[in-house]
Amino acid sequence: MKKHLIVAAILTSVVIIGILKNMVFAEYKVDGNSMQPTLPEGEYFSINKWSYWFHDIDRFDIVVFQLPEENEVLVKRVIGLPGDEIQYKGNHLYINNQKVNEPFLPKQENEIFNQTQTGDFTLEEVTGVKQVPEDAVFVIGDNRLNSRDSRHFGFVKTKHIIGKVNPK
């Protein structure tokens, strides 16, 4: 009789752990190269779906989100948080008029490439507003020359963020 209880307890535990794992974590496969070299095409990564229930979104978090108009799921890096003014000038990021380092970007030997990697723009030029709205973030892919991101489709509403990519 004890063996049956032990087996039942183990099976119940495995089922509960499996259900919780799928509710909290999800696995995605990188489709495309917009996040290279950080997330190479074809690589699998895990996201924490509950992370933002307990913590605020931080600048430079990598997030998975849904574009509801296109029914598409994308992965990008958060550059702008609510209230931020963003500008790229001379291939450098300025947030609220302060130059910000982006250590995750690939270093290139070609100075001309470096100057055109992101391109110059202001938030107002690409979105029509000066600051990131309170309920949204501004996202860009790490492979700036080959990324469809907030420069193209605008802000991502925080309610459309599925989760945070877990670091390796």
Residue 2 inside a domain? The answer is no
Whole-number Å distance between alpha carbons of 108 and 100:
18
* 152 within some domain: yes
Q: Which among 31, 46, 145 is positioned nearest to 91, based on CA atoms? A: 145
Q: For 146-156, what is the mean pLDDT?
A: 94
> Which structural domain range is residue 42 located in?
26-165
Per-residue pLDDT band for 136 (boundaries 50, 70, 90) equals very high
The enclosing domain of 86 has a CATH number of 2.10.109.10
Type of residue numbered 134: E
pTM: 0.83
Is residue 128 included in any domain, yes or no?
Answer: yes
pLDDT-derived band of residue 12, with 50, 70 and 90 as boundaries?
A: confident
**How far is 99 from 89, CA to CA, in rounded Å?**
10
pLDDT at 20 over 70: no
Average pLDDT value for residue range 128-151: 94
Of 165 and 7, the structure prediction assigns the larger pLDDT to 165
Among 3, 29, 34, 46, the active-site one is 34
Q: What is the mean pLDDT of the chain?
A: 86
CA distance 137 to 147: 16
Residue 140 lies in a domain: yes
Asked, for residue 11, whether it belongs to a domain, the answer is no
Gap between the Cα atoms of 63 and 139, Å rounded: 9
Query: For residue 110, is pLDDT > 60?
Result: no
Banded model confidence at residue 138, pLDDT cuts 50, 70, 90: very high
The model's pLDDT over 58-98, given as tens digits with 9 standing for 90+, comes to 999 999 999 888 888 899 999 999 999 999 998 889 999 99
Q: Would you say residue 3 lies in a domain?
A: no
User: Residue 75: its pLDDT value, please?
Assistant: 95
Q: Mean pLDDT throughout 25-45?
A: 87
Residue 17: inside a domain, yes or no? no
Supply 160's token pair: 């459309």
Q: Which of the following is catalytic: 76, 147, 150, 164?
A: 76
- What's the number of domains the chain is made of? 1
- Kindly state the average pLDDT of the residues 95-108: 86
The predicted pLDDT at position 22 comes to: 65
Which amino acid type is present at position 153?
A: F
> Is residue 55 a part of any domain in this protein?
yes
- Which of 109, 108, 88, 106 shows the shortest CA–CA distance to 97? 88
Q: Is 34 considered catalytic here?
A: yes
